[in-house]
Amino acid sequence: MKTKRYGFAGVFAAIALAVSTLVAPSANAATEIVVWADESRGPNLTKVIAAKGDWVSGYTVKVVTFSSFDALKDAFDKATDASGPDIVVGGNDWVPTGAKSGKLAPITLTAAVKARFNPTQFVDLTYKGKLYGVPVDINNVAMIYNTKLVSSAPKSFGEMVSNYKSLKASKGLKAGLCIAGGGMSWGAHSVFSALGADAYKFNSRGGIVYGRSFTATTFGKNVRKYLMDGKKSNGFFPATDTGCKDNFLAGTVPYAVIGNWEWADYVAKGFTMNLMPVPGVREGTYGKMFGSVSGALLTTFAAKHGVESGAKSLLTNFFASTDGQVRYQAIEKRPPAEKGAQADSTVTAAQRGFGSSASLAGIPQIGAFLNSNKGGANYWDSAPAYWTAVLIDGKDAVREASKLAAIWRANTDGGKGDL
């Protein structure tokens, strides 16, 4: 009986160990650099990197694609030493939390590599003076106008409001200007800034001039003048972005702020490149169009996997190079971040159109700044509440602007040290 029991135990142990050994994952080869990307960028990066296999001598590059940008973020938040990527292509607002939590590693670029980019793009990827990746592509918004409703580009904010009022009844307009891309904080920053509430003004060296930003009284008075009829909204600018895109495409809104990531939908409906920044209250001035860069970010896992130098080489040789960005953006179709790639003949009209709109009046979204709870508030999270309070609840435009300005100030004072 004893022999029999030992026999079963032996069979059990043998089978269990044999199977577990057979299916056990082999350790990652140290010659492989793993890049994580979302469902759009992943397949394109795979193609481009595979087409020219020697971006980093002695290494192969494996691109892991996730089903969505959110899935990618979720996976990166949960990544461990064993499972984490060496490079992740993510949003610039991942930088502060990734750096604080020890998931992103700093990189120092040489002057030659830095010169390939606009300096403000590095602000997007910097946290406490350290750079955590290289800019890959630009995500920005611009205002589009429907030439079937308005014949020419508006010269001022007031002109847009006048056009809306005169066409409202005859064309059955549902709004004058609405936000289809970027939401009621980042997307609507173009309207905030056009009316006088610029979240941050930049000097020529790419530094922020805090003292000249966000003038609440001017902004509040402009809101009263251009967006209100007494205590009620005049209908020109909806408080939410719901339905904006559909209404614009249906021809019931003449002006809309759209994101470059949705441009194909507008082309499919027959729209052409009537892009511009939102005009300001004075002719010749413009609101600041929000724009951010997505970055190829170096992770701390690269060092743990023994491929840190290889990963840094991939960042500079591929992601931050003219050749790499031209090849990649030829199929990804976003505006490239690298200057040489921007000037390349393969860049499409849409890529150029958004790029030129951004260069005329663009601001970066800085993850470390105004997007944290520093000072006990979060400006970008709070901004949409302004439109609700004023345009829906009918609260005083100047007083509510002062409240938002106070949040901006607290957030700025608390957060500017993180730049």
Partner 1 sequence: MTYLIRGKVALLIKVVVVALLASVLLLLAQSAFAQREYVIAAFLAISVAILALTYLSKISIPLKFFIPGILLLTAFVIGPILYTVAMSGFNYKTGNIISKEEAIVQIKVRGIEPAPSGLSFDIKLGTVDGKPAILASDINTSEYFLSTLEGRTPLVASSLTFNEYGVAIVAPNFIPLNETEFASADKIYTGARFVFDDQFFIALEGFEAGVVSQQVLEFVPESDQFRNLLTGDVYTDNGRGNYALADDQGAILEPGWRAPIWFENYSNIVTDPRVREPLIRVFIWTVVFALLTVLTTFALGLLLALALNKAIRGRRIYRSILVLPYAMPSVMSILIWGGMFNTEFGAINALLGTDIAWFSDPNFARVAVILVNLWLGFPYFYLISSGSLQAIPSELMEAAAIDGANPRQIFRKITLPLLLQILSPLLIASFAFNFNNFNLIFLLTGGGPRNELDGEIAGATDILISYTYKIAFGSGTQDLGLASAISLIIFILVASISLYSLKKSKVLESFA
Residues 31-70 that bind partner 1 (CB under 8 A): 31, 56-59
User: Among residues 389, 397, 408, 412, which is the contact residue for partner 1, using CB under 8 A?
Assistant: 389
Q: How far apart are CA 142 and CA 274, in angstroms?
A: 10
* CB of residue 124 to partner 1, shortest distance in Å: 17
372 binds partner 1 (CB under 8 A): yes
Structure tokens at 62: 């494996």
8 binds partner 1 (CB under 8 A): yes
Q: How far apart are CA 10 and CA 166, in angstroms?
A: 89
The strand pairing partners of 295, in sequence order, are 90, 135
Task: For the segment 68-87, give every residue that binds partner 1 (CB under 8 A).
Answer: 80-83
110 binds partner 1 (CB under 8 A): yes
19 binds partner 1 (CB under 8 A): yes
> Is 389 in a helix, a strand, or coil?
helix
The CA distances from residue 36 to 118, 230, 246, in Å, are 25, 52, 33
308 binds partner 1 (CB under 8 A): yes
1 binds partner 1 (CB under 8 A): no
243 binds partner 1 (CB under 8 A): yes
Closest CA to 86 of 377, 248, 310: 310
Non-local CB neighbours of 156 within 8 Å, separated by 6+ positions: 279, 280, 281, 282, 283
Q: How far apart are CA 63 and CA 88, in angstroms?
A: 10
Which of 284/376 has CB closer to partner 1? 376
Q: Which stretch binds partner 1 (CB under 8 A): 9-17, 160-168, 206-214, 251-259?
A: 9-17
Q: Which stretch binds partner 1 (CB under 8 A): 11-19, 38-46, 283-291, 345-353?
A: 11-19
* CB of residue 389 to partner 1, shortest distance in Å: 6
Structure tokens at 177: 């200007």
Which of 178/347 has CB closer to partner 1? 178
5 binds partner 1 (CB under 8 A): yes
* CB of residue 51 to partner 1, shortest distance in Å: 19
107 binds partner 1 (CB under 8 A): yes
* CB of residue 27 to partner 1, shortest distance in Å: 8
* CB of residue 191 to partner 1, shortest distance in Å: 17
Q: How far apart are CA 312 and CA 307, in angstroms?
A: 9
Task: For the segment 274-303, give every residue that binds partner 1 (CB under 8 A).
Answer: 300, 303
Task: For the segment 115-174, give every residue that binds partner 1 (CB under 8 A).
Answer: 128, 130
398 binds partner 1 (CB under 8 A): no
Closest CA to 264 of 352, 167, 196, 333: 333
Whether 277 contacts 142, CB under 8 Å: yes
Q: How far apart are CA 378 and CA 343, in angstroms?
A: 37
Q: How far apart are CA 285 and CA 280, in angstroms?
A: 5
* Helix or strand (DSSP H, E) at 193: helix 189-194
Give the binding-site size for partner 1 (rule: CB under 8 A).
78
Q: Which stretch binds partner 1 (CB under 8 A): 150-158, 165-173, 289-297, 377-385?
A: 377-385
